[in-house]
Amino acid sequence: MAEQVLKDLAKFQMNGSGWTFHSIVALDIHTVGYEPLSGSSWVPLPKFLASKKAIINMKNTDNHCFKWCIVRALNPVEKKPDRITKHLRKQAVSLNFKGIEFPMSLQAIDKFERLNTEISVNVFGYDNISKVYPLRISKFKRHKEIDLMLLENKHYCLVKNLSRLMSMQTSKHHGEIVICRRCLNHFPNEKALEKHEENCQNHDAIKIVLPEEGSILEFKNHKHSMRMPIVVYADFESFTKPIDSCQPDPDRSFTKAYQQHEPSGFCFHIKCLDKSSEQILFTKTREEENVADIFVDILEKEIDRVWSSEVKEMIFPKMAGQSLKKQESAGFARNHLKW
């Protein structure tokens, strides 16, 4: 610390300010304790989680809850799986925890995965609002994939059935589902999940926070909005004609085009600032009529008519009186204000 101060002083005096250091009158040092997320002492499962019967809460009296969860995941038992027995301690010997400190931090799981190359570990968090959300999703999908939950930022529990645990926040779907650990979306089967994961693995794990029920999203800054001088509302009517196409491959995703929309008529309406034009209606009467072409023709003519009668007088009279010639300003508007 003193060294750094002296260094900075020397640098300051060398800058040629002409000032000379005399003495330090007082020095305040403020410190904040840094507590990284890590798992250690036992905490009871929140009632809601306990009711799902999808989590094993190892009854540890030390800081090694992470270790006991992993060992239990690899050595499941039917009766009292949360007990740390002599047998479980023996089974722990097969794992490599060299250089890992307990309580185990989330960051240290990278090291654990490097030392134990058959295991990948995912960790989830839980709160009353977001429910279950991903905290750390492994980069690997290994033969032994273990899901843990970190409670109160200090205690790891073993998730033995993620599908059942997630059933509380995955709609009213009944029956077995598979979960994408990264985004916690659910899928009906492994095949659907695999397809989704091709995209999802390119993104970081996410915690989805939905707005409260009944909340409304609204636009308030109307002063930031810009009014369009001309708006066209158009609607087409069409016949549908069936299309003959070859049979798609059912093993791949496909879009089957089965009908073509053949326009038979249209209706449009032009709104110019506060004035509305009359509705223009057209219905095809002869087979050779191309409705789309007719629509464009009539629309162009109508826009020209509205433009010359309404917009030119309403928007540009001031500009016309300035250095720009009237015709130039109208040309500018034509090029820049598109409908």
Given the rule CB under 5 A, which residues bind Zn ion? 180, 182-183, 200
Which residues are CB-neighbours of 166 under 8 A, at least 6 positions away?
132, 177, 179, 184, 186
Closest separation in Å from C-beta 182 to Zn ion: 4
| 236/238 Cα distance (integer angstroms) | 6
* Closest CB to Zn ion among residues 199, 245: 199
Is the CA virtual torsion 93, 97, 101, 103 positive or negative? negative
- 263: preceding bond cis by omega (within 30 degrees): no
Per-residue tokens: 150: 């970190």
Q: Select 109 or 183, whichever has its Cβ closest to Zn ion.
A: 183
Select from 165, 158, 132 the least CA-distant residue to 57: 158
* Cα dihedral sign, 220-221-227-232: negative
Give the number of other Cβ atoms within 10 Å of residue 264's Cβ.
Answer: 15
102 near 62, Cβ under 8 Å? yes
**Closest distance between Zn ion and the C-beta of residue 180, in Å?**
3
What minimum distance in Å lies between the beta carbon of 54 and Zn ion?
20
CB closer to Zn ion, 158 vs 193: 193
Q: Which is nearer to Zn ion, 132 or 183 (CB)?
A: 183
Q: How far is the CB of 162 from Zn ion (least distance, A)?
A: 13
Determine phi and psi for 133, rounding to 5 degrees. -145, 155
Q: Which is nearer to Zn ion, 72 or 186 (CB)?
A: 186
Q: How far is the CB of 286 from Zn ion (least distance, A)?
A: 54
**Residue among 134 and 265 whose Cβ is closer to Zn ion:** 134
Distance CA 186, CA 189 (A): 9
Name the token pair of 101: 């400190």
Question: For residues 183 and 303, which CB has a smaller minimum distance to Zn ion in the complex?
Answer: 183
Q: What is the DSSP string of 146-195?
A: EEEEEETTTEEEEES-HHHHHGGGSTT--S--EE-TTT--EESSHHHHHH
Q: In what helix (H) or strand (E) does residue 240 lie, and over which residues does it extend?
A: strand 230-242
Q: Which is nearer to Zn ion, 131 or 182 (CB)?
A: 182
Choice between 43 and 200, CB closer to Zn ion: 200
How near is the Cβ of 72 to Zn ion at its closest, in Å? 27
Strands 119-127 and 144-151 turn out to be parallel
Q: What is the DSSP letter of 250?
A: T
The minimum distance between CB 170 and Zn ion, in angstroms, equals: 13
CA 210, 213, 214, 215 torsion-angle sign: negative
Looking only at the bridges linking them, the beta strands covering 275-276 and 259-272 are: antiparallel
- Shortest distance in whole angstroms from residue 201 CB to Zn ion: 8
Element (H, E) at 270: strand 259-272
State in angstroms the smallest separation of the CB of 3 from Zn ion.
50
